[in-house]
Amino acid sequence: MNSDMTPSSHLSGPIEVEQKFVPGPDIEDRLYGLGAELLEEITFQDSYYDSTDLHLTLCDMWLRKRGDRWELKLPPQRGTRNLKGSSTQYLELSCENEIIHRVSEELGVPCPLTIEALELKKFASFVTRRRRFQLPHEDGSSAKAVVDLDETDFDFAIGEVEVLVNTQEEVQSALEKVEDVCKQLGVLKDSPVQGKVSTFLQRNCTDHYQQLLQANIL
Ligand code: V4E
């Protein structure tokens, strides 16, 4: 293993295994048909940040401010990009100190006291209205699946089946769980579905979007 392939497991965040899907008009009926329960309905603003040379996103690292809270999504193994496929897995960090450390390390700059001091530039900002559903917990399955139905203020809708796990060893069963829920909802696809940020970039930041496509990130 070279030094760029060290696991990011010392970073303390859950691994999010998810599959996006295009929600059809009957998606809520299907969810309730499976015994799902509406957990919450929330609205939040996400602003995404990168250096001017797009270093972070070209490494598949996604730094955002959701409301007042900083979050970083990155591939679970350093030096590996997330595999392109129908489902994705990302480590999610929400501890500000860990985020500052990881981002400054990636950018090759001294670790500052605040994220703001990195003087990154905002490249996307939008509001999401989210309806989150909890699926019934099945006997014998440790993973809990949730389904998010998102609508943005740029007229885009997307669904996500999501399972959170704490270790890389649990990822395989989470992938199976996500696939199983997608099958039950009738939304299983072989190819990835474009998410909110990708769509925002495609519509508003064509150059950034093209660079990510060329780098095989999107
Ligand atoms: C990871 C990523 C991006 C960051 C946004 O991630 P996403 O899961 O779309 O956001 P959201 O709001 O649903 O987050 P949650 O509330 O669940 O934490 S933008 C692009 N990526 C990479 C990526 C990819 N390569 N392929 C697919 C299918 N999705 C995302």
Ligand 1 midpoint to CA 104 (Å):
21
Cβ–ligand 1 contact at 218 (below 6 Å): yes
Amino acid 139: pLDDT: 61
Closest atom of ligand 1 to 217 CA is 25
Q: What is the pTM of this model?
A: 0.89
pLDDT digits (tens, 9 = 90+) for 38-47: 999 999 999 9
pLDDT digits (tens, 9 = 90+) for 91-112: 999 999 999 999 999 999 999 9
Whose CA is closest to atom 29 on ligand 1?
A: 195
User: Which of 146, 142, 200 is closest to 169 using CA atoms?
Assistant: 142
